[in-house]
Amino acid sequence: MTNTASFATTEDELDTLVSIAIRRAEILDDEGSPAADEAWHEVSAYEQRLAAITAPSEIAGGVARVGAVRAALAAGHRAEAESLASKYLAETQLPAERRAAMERVFQEDRDRRARHFPAIAKSGRLAELAGWRAAAAAQNSRVFPMSEAA
Amino acid sequence: MTGWRHRPIEWLPEDPGVLKALDRNRVTEDGAEAVALTYVNAKAGWVVKRRLQQGDHADWLMENEAGSMAVEVSGTASGDPLGRLGEKKRQVAECSLPVYRLAVVVGFERPSILAGSV
């Protein structure tokens, strides 16, 4: 028998949880810990919950939406980040500034990968590399214990 | 938001033996955040909304009746806090959110708080 518990959280509670999670993820990132990926995934989960209860036109809602995408990328979950971005960019009330911020997040991710894989970036095959890594990770989640963002 | 310049601050010194066992950069950063957030609350009633991710070019999103404010905080255990303030003002100026933007630097060698809006 499986018990499923629903855990309702308020915006204030989620603000606290995401604040703690961001600090932890940034510290783990600084230390090059393999646990950073999971920490960023947790950040993305909180940001997504915040996005779900805030309007895209609000400051907090815009921050959460871009934050969810950025954290998913930091966790190495590029497909999830792209899916979230598509969902949030489809919201007509999302301000132009947040749309631009969303684009910058992906550009920063491309720049980061180019620094990590300069030869592949030079040959214009970063997208191919990302696809291969995603396919390999889908078959065995332990293949890439650390994202290249770490 | 104007007129935020030098403000005095005091605290009890920590045992140097304890400090040696801690991460100096992180202790300085955490201490600066505690002082800075208290300062902006005491000064204008700003309260913490949430922490921001590094890509937002600010550490904290704060709120009061005037709206929202992005705050970038830094601490200096030694050296020139005024130079650091310029650096942090340039950083928070890159925050694209439609909010007030403030940089705060807490100096610990010669205790001081420097703040500047952009």
Asked if the structure places residue B10 within a domain, the reply is no
**For residue B109, what is the domain's CATH number?**
3.40.1350.10
Q: pLDDT tens digits for A104-148?
A: 999 999 888 888 777 777 777 777 777 777 777 667 666 565 454
How big is chain A, counted in residues?
A: 150
| Backbone Cα Rg of chain A | 16
Task: Test B98 with A97 for CB contact under 8 angstroms.
Answer: yes
Q: Are B64 and A75 in contact (CB under 8 A)?
A: no
Task: Test B99 with A59 for CB contact under 8 angstroms.
Answer: yes
Whether residue B1 has pLDDT greater than 50: no
pLDDT at A135: 75
Give yes or no for A61 touching B (CB within 8 A): no
Phi, psi of B38, deg, nearest 5: -65, -40
Q: Are A85 and A120 in contact (CB under 8 A)?
A: no
Interface test with B, best of A63, A70, A99 (most B CBs within 10 A): A63
Q: Specify the pTM.
A: 0.84
Asked if the structure places residue B8 within a domain, the reply is no
Order of strands across the sheet that contains B67-76: B47-51, B60-64, B67-76, B100-107, B112-117
Across-strand partners of B101? B70
Q: Are B70 and B102 in contact (CB under 8 A)?
A: yes
User: Into how many domains does chain B fold?
Assistant: 1
d(CA A112, CA A124): 14
Asked if the structure places residue B7 within a domain, the reply is no
Range of the domain at B66: 16-117
Q: In the structure, what pLDDT confidence band is assigned to residue B45 with cuts at 50, 70 and 90?
A: very high
| Sign of the alpha-carbon torsion through A136, A138, A140, A141 | positive
| Backbone Cα Rg of chain B | 14
SS3 for chain A, per residue?
A: CCCCCCCCCCHHHHHHHHHHHHHHHHHHHHCCCCCHHHHHHHHHHHHHHHHHHCCCCCHHHHHHHHHHHHHHHHCCCHHHHHHHHHHHHCCCCCCHHHHHHHHHHHHHHHHHHHHHCHHHHHCCCHHHHHHHHHHHHHHCCCCCCCCCCC
Q: Are A133 and A150 in contact (CB under 8 A)?
A: no
Predicted complex: ipTM over 0.90: no
Residues of chain B with Cβ-Cβ distance to A16 below 8 Å are 50
Task: Test B52 with A22 for CB contact under 8 angstroms.
Answer: yes
Q: In the structure, what pLDDT confidence band is assigned to residue A150 with cuts at 50, 70 and 90?
A: very low
Asked if the structure places residue B91 within a domain, the reply is yes
Residues of chain A with Cβ-Cβ distance to B51 below 8 Å are 18-19, 22-23
Note the helical H segments in chain B: 16-20, 24-44, 81-93
Q: Are B100 and B117 in contact (CB under 8 A)?
A: yes
Asked if the structure places residue B11 within a domain, the reply is no
Asked if the structure places residue B9 within a domain, the reply is no
Q: pLDDT tens digits for A55-108?
A: 999 999 999 999 999 999 999 899 999 999 999 999 999 999 999 999 999 999
CB atoms within 10 A of CB A126: 17
Average pLDDT on B65-84 reads 94
Average pLDDT on B89-96 reads 97
